[in-house]
C-alpha cells in the first residue's frame, strides 16, 4: 500500500529537478567557489602532474608518469615527505594533551579570571604566522636573544643554542612553536566536549565525596573520549598544513633540515632561486602527498568505525 | 541526620576556595610565560633599535612611537593594511552568504544530487593547500586576476569553505520543522523564509564563520605570497611583514611595530566576539 502510493505520487525525474529549481539556485554561489577553488584544483593537479611545464606562460609537454618516476628517486622529496609526517605525529599528541589539561582546569566555572586565561591562551592563534616568524626568530636568536640570555643567566646552558640555525634542533623548535600557536584552538574543542558532561554529575560526585582528580580521570575523561578521535583528526590535518610557519621562520633551512612537503612544493614551483620552475613536477609531489593523506584518513575512519561497531556488539 | 552526615565528612586541608586561588595564581604565571613573546614584541616596538637588546626588561625606559611612524610610512604597512582589510572583508562576505545558502539547502531540503554534493564535500575536506595552490594560481592567471587583490579575495574564500558548509548544514538540519511550516501557512516564500526566519536563527554559526574566516584571511600566507610575488604593491600584511624582514633585517623596532599593527585588529575583533565564537564552535563540535 505505502509503496504503491509513494511511487504513484513520485513525479518523474525531470519534474523533480524542476521542482527543486530554487534549491539549485541557492547552491549556485557556493558551488562556484567550491568548484573553482576546491574541486577543479583537485583534478587539475592530477593532470598537471603528467606534464613538463616550466612556468605559467610556458608550453606544456605531456610526459606521462615521468615526474612520478623521478619523485620516487628524489632524496629531498622523501626527506620532506617523512618530515611532514614526523612533524604531525610529534605535534598532535602533545598539542592534544596540553590543551586538554588547560581545558579541564579552565572548565571550572568558579575559577577566578578563567575567561581572561582562555583569551590569553588563545592569543597566539589570532597572531599571523608571519608575525610569529619575526618575533620568534628574534627571541630565539643565539645573539643576545632573550631566551638564550635567560637560560645563560640561570646557568641552564653553557653556550647559547641556535634554535633555528642548528639542523638537529630546527624541526623541534618549529614543532614547539607550532604547538604554542595552535593549542588555543584545540582547547576550545575540548571545552566544547567538556560541556557535554552534565553538571549534575559533578554535583553528585561532590556529595559522594569523590575527589575532583578521581572524577576527572574516571568519569569525565571516558565521557569525552569519543570527541578525542574527531579532535585528533582535525589537528592532524591542520598540522600537515604547516607551510606558513616554516616559510616565515626558516624557509626550509638550514640545509633543508626543516623542509616539509609544502615548502618543497613551493620551492620547486615558485621560489626556484634562478632555476627553471617545475610546475608539473611540483604538482606530482602535491598529488602524491595529498593521496597519501587521503589514504591515511580513510584508514583512520575505517579503524574508528570498526572499533565503534565492536563496542556496540560487545555492549549489547 | 543528613546534616550530621555532611558535617561528618573530614574537612580537607585545602578548601576548594583556597585551591581555586592557587590554581588561578599558577595559571597566571603560565599565561605570562605563554604570551611573553607577544609582550616582548609590543615592548620592542616602543624602543629604539639600540635599546631593544640592552636587556632592560619589558617596560621601555624611553618609549618612542617612531617605529610606528616609520613602519606605517616607509614600509608601506598602511597600504598593506588596507589591502588585507579589502581581502578579508570581501572574502568574509562571500563565504558567509554562500555557505549559509548552501548549508541551508543541503541541511533542510531534499533534491536530486544532494547525496552527490555531500559526498564530494566530505571527499575534499582533507585536501591540503599545497595540493591545490598550482591549479588555483593557474586558474586565477587565466581569469586575468592572477596579479590582483580580487584573485586573492576569491581564492581565500575557498580556504575553509567545506567546513563552514558542514557547520551550517548541521545547524539548519536540527531546527524544528514547525518554523518552515508556519512560514508556509502564512504565505511566506522560500527566499523570505530563509532570509527573515532561518538566517537570524543561525547567528551562532554566522559569528563562528565570520571569526574563523577573518582569522583565515588575515593569516593566509601561501596564496597571497604567490599572487604578490611579482607585484609588491598589492601585498597583504602577512606577506608585507615577511618581506620587511627580508629587506630590513636589522630594523627590529620597525619589524615589531609592523607586527603589532598586524595583530591589533584581529585581537580586538576576537576580544569582542570571543564569547559568541567559543559558544558557536562548541555547538558546532557537539553537532
CA distances from B167 to A73, A130, A187, B82, B205 (A): 42, 29, 19, 30, 7
User: Residue B103: pLDDT above 90?
Assistant: yes
Q: Is A54 inside any structural domain?
A: no
Q: Do A173 and A284 sit in the same domain of this protein?
A: yes
| DSSP for chain B, written as a single string | -HHHHHHHSPPPSS-HHHHHHHHHHHHHHHHHHHTHHHHHHHHHHTS-HHHHTS---SS-SS---HHHHHHHHTT-HHHHHHHHHHHHHHHHHHHHHHHHHHHHHHHH---TTHHHHHHHHHHHTT--HHHHHHHHHHHHHHTT-TTSHHHHHHHHHTTTHHHHHHHHHHHHHTS-THHHHHHHHTT--HHHIIIIIIHHHTHHHHHHHHHHHHHHHHH--HHHHHHTTT-GGG--HHHHHHHHHHH-TT-HHHHHHHHHHHHHHHHHHHHHHHHHHHHHHHHHHH-
Whether A241 sits inside 8 A of B109 (CB atoms) is no
Of B114-123, B227-236, B240-249, the least confident: B240-249
Q: Report d(CA B63, CA B78) in Å as an integer.
A: 22
pLDDT of residue B69: 85
Q: Which of residues 173-232 of A touch B (CB under 8 A)?
A: 180, 188-189, 191-193, 195-196, 209, 227, 230
pLDDT of residue B2: 45
Q: Report d(CA B255, CA B261) in Å as an integer.
A: 10
Between A307 and A246, the higher pLDDT residue: A246
Q: Do A106 and A167 sit in the same domain of this protein?
A: yes
**Rg of chain A over all Cα atoms, to the nearest angstrom:** 26
Between B130 and A65, the higher pLDDT residue: A65
Q: Do A23 and A138 sit in the same domain of this protein?
A: no
What is the average pLDDT across B147-158? 89
What is the average pLDDT across B153-181? 86
Query: Chain B: nearest CA to A79, how far in angstroms?
Result: 16
Nearest to A126 among B126, B190, B270 (CB): B270
Tell me the pLDDT tens digit for each residue of A206-254: 788 787 778 888 888 888 887 887 788 778 777 777 888 888 888 777 8
pLDDT of residue B100: 94
Confidence of residue B166 (pLDDT cuts 50, 70, 90): confident
Q: Do A120 and A208 sit in the same domain of this protein?
A: yes
pLDDT of residue B279: 67
Could you give the percent of chain A with pLDDT greater than 90? 10
A13 touches chain B (CB under 8 A): yes
Between B93 and B74, the higher pLDDT residue: B93
pLDDT of residue B248: 66
Q: Do A83 and A26 sit in the same domain of this protein?
A: no
Nearest to B130 among A23, A265, A294 (CB): A265
ipTM passes above 0.90: no
User: Residue A280: pLDDT above 60?
Assistant: yes
Q: Do A31 and A119 sit in the same domain of this protein?
A: no
Whether B262 sits inside 8 A of A41 (CB atoms) is no
Burial of residue B209 (CB within 10 Å: 0-12, 13-18, 19+) is: buried
Q: Do A22 and A139 sit in the same domain of this protein?
A: no
CATH number of domain containing A282: 1.10.3720.10
Determine the CATH number of domain B75-286.
1.10.3720.10
pLDDT of residue B70: 81
Tell me the pLDDT tens digit for each residue of A131-182: 888 888 888 888 777 788 888 888 777 777 888 878 888 899 999 999 999 8
Nearest to B221 among A180, A230, A247 (CB): A247
Q: Report d(CA A63, CA B170) in Å as an integer.
A: 44
Q: Do A25 and A79 sit in the same domain of this protein?
A: no
pLDDT of residue A300: 77
pLDDT of residue B87: 93
In terms of average pLDDT, the best of A177-191, A294-308, B199-213, B248-262 is A177-191
Q: Is A65 inside any structural domain?
A: no
Compute the residue count for chain B: 287
Whether A38 sits inside 8 A of B161 (CB atoms) is yes
Long-range contacts of A301-304 (CB under 8 A, 24+ apart): A304/A229
**Domain assignments of chain B as residue spans, ordered by start:** 12-64, 75-286
Could you give the percent of chain B with pLDDT greater than 90? 9
pLDDT of residue A313: 67
Confidence of residue B90 (pLDDT cuts 50, 70, 90): very high
Confidence of residue B48 (pLDDT cuts 50, 70, 90): confident
Of A226-240, B133-147, B162-176, the least confident: A226-240
Whether B124 sits inside 8 A of A39 (CB atoms) is yes
What is the average pLDDT across B151-160? 87
pLDDT of residue A48: 86
- How many separate domains does chain A show? 2
pLDDT of residue A1: 40
Domain assignment of residue A8, given as a range = 2-48
CA distances from A80 to A91, A129, A240, A286 (A): 16, 21, 12, 12
User: Residue B86: pLDDT above 70?
Assistant: yes
CB A26 within 8 A of CB A243: no
Among A17, A18, A20, A23, pick the best mutation site for testing chain B contact (most B Cβ within 10 A): A23
> Looking at beta carbons, which residues of chain A come within 8 Å of B139?
36-37, 40-41, 44
Between B50 and B152, the higher pLDDT residue: B152
Q: Do A34 and A130 sit in the same domain of this protein?
A: no
Q: Do A32 and A124 sit in the same domain of this protein?
A: no
Q: Is A63 inside any structural domain?
A: no
In terms of average pLDDT, the best of A53-67, A143-157, B20-34, B127-141 is B20-34
Is-cis flag, bond preceding B182, omega within 30?
A: no
- How many CB atoms within 10 Å of residue B275? 11
Tell me the pLDDT tens digit for each residue of A64-116: 888 888 888 888 889 989 998 899 889 999 999 999 999 988 887 777 777 78
Q: Do A253 and A150 sit in the same domain of this protein?
A: yes
Tell me the pLDDT tens digit for each residue of A2-52: 444 445 455 688 888 888 888 888 899 999 999 998 889 888 888 888 888
Q: Is A69 inside any structural domain?
A: no
pLDDT of residue B101: 93
Among B7, B23, B37, B85, pick the best mutation site for testing chain A contact (most A Cβ within 10 A): B37
Amino acid at each position: 500500500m505505502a509503496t504503491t502510493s509513494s511511487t504513484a505520487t513520485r513525479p518523474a525525474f525531470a519534474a523533480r529537478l524542476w521542482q527543486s529549481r530554487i534549491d539549485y539556485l541557492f547552491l549556485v554561489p557556493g558551488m562556484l567557489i567550491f568548484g573553482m577553488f576546491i574541486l577543479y584544483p583537485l583534478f587539475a593537479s592530477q593532470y598537471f602532474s603528467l606534464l613538463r611545464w616550466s612556468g605559467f606562460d610556458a608550453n606544456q609537454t605531456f610526459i606521462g608518469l615521468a615526474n612520478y618516476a623521478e619523485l620516487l628517486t628524489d632524496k629531498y622529496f622523501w626527506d620532506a615527505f617523512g618530515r611532514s609526517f614526523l612533524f604531525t605525529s610529534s605535534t598532535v599528541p602533545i598539542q592534544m594533551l596540553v590543551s586538554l589539561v588547560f581545558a579541564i582546569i579552565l572548565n571550572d566555572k568558579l575559577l577566578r579570571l578563567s575567561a581572561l586565561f582562555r583569551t590569553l591562551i588563545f592569543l597566539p592563534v589570532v597572531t599571523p604566522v608571519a608575525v610569529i616568524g619575526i618575533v620568534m626568530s628574534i627571541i630565539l636568536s643565539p645573539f643576545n636573544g632573550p631566551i638564550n640570555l635567560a637560560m645563560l643567566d640561570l646557568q641552564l646552558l653553557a653556550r647559547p643554542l641556535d634554535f633555528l640555525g642548528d639542523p638537529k634542533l630546527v624541526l623541534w623548535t618549529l614543532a614547539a612553536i607550532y604547538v604554542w600557536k595552535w593549542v588555543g584552538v584545540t582547547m576550545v574543542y575540548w571545552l566544547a566536549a567538556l560541556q557535554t558532561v552534565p553538571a549534575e554529575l559533578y554535583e553528585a560526585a561532590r556529595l559522594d565525596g569523590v575527589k575532583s582528580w578521581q572524577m576527572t580521570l574516571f568519569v569525565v575523561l571516558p565521557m569525552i573520549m569519543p570527541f578525542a578521535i574527531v579532535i585528533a583528526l582535525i589537528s592532524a590535518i591542520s598540522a600537515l598544513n604547516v607551510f606558513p610557519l616554516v616559510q616565515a621562520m626558516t624557509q626550509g633551512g638550514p640545509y633543508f633540515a626543516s623542509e616539509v612537503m609544502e615548502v618543497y612544493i613551493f620551492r620547486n614551483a615558485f621560489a626556484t632561486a634562478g632555476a627553471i620552475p617545475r610546475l608539473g613536477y611540483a604538482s606530482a609531489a602535491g598529488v602524491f602527498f595529498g593521496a597519501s593523506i587521503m589514504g591515511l584518513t580513510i584508514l583512520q575512519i575505517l579503524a574508528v568505525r570498526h572499533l565503534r561497531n565492536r563496542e556496540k556488539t560487545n555492549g549489547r | 541526620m543528613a546534616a550530621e552526615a555532611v558535617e561528618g565528612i573530614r574537612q580537607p586541608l585545602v578548601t576548594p576556595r583556597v585551591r581555586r586561588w592557587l590554581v588561578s595564581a599558577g595559571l597566571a604565571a603560565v599565561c605570562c610565560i605563554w604570551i611573553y613573546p607577544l609582550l616582548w614584541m609590543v615592548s620592542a616596538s616602543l624602543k629604539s633599535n639600540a635599546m631593544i637588546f640592552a636587556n632592560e626588561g619589558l617596560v621601555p625606559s624611553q618609549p618612542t612611537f617612531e617605529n610606528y611612524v616609520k613602519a606605517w610610512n616607509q614600509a608601506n604597512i598602511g597600504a598593506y593594511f588596507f589591502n588585507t582589510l579589502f581581502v578579508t572583508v570581501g572574502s568574509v562576505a562571500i563565504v558567509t552568504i554562500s555557505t549559509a545558502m548552501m548549508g541551508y539547502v543541503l541541511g533542510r531540503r531534499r533534491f536530486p544530487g544532494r547525496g552527490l554534493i555531500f559526498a564530494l564535500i566530505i571527499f575534499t575536506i582533507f585536501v591540503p593547500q599545497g595540493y591545490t595552490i598550482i591549479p588555483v594560481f593557474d586558474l586565477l592567471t587565466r581569469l586575468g586576476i592572477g596579479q590582483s587583490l580580487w584573485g586573492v579575495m576569491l581564492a581565500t574564500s575557498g580556504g575553509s569553505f567545506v567546513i563552514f558548509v558542514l557547520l551550517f548544514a548541521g545547524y539548519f538540519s536540527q531546527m524544528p520543522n514547525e518554523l518552515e511550516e508556519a512560514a508556509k501557512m502564512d504565505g511566506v516564500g522560500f527566499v523570505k523564509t530563509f532570509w527573515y526566519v532561518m538566517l537570524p536563527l543561525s547567528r551562532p554559526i554566522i559569528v563562528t564563520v565570520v571569526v574563523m574566516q577573518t582569522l583565515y584571511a588575515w593569516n593566509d600566507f601561501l596564496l597571497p605570497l604567490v599572487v604578490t610575488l611579482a607585484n609588491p604593491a598589492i601585498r597583504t600584511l602577512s606577506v608585507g611583514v615577511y618581506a620587511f624582514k627580508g629587506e630590513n633585517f636589522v630594523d627590529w623596532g620597525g619589524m615589531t611595530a609592523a607586527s603589532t599593527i598586524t595583530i591589533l585588529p584581529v585581537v580586538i575583533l576576537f576580544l569582542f566576539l570571543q564569547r559568541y565564537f567559543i559558544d558557536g564552535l562548541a555547538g558546532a563540535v557537539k553537532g
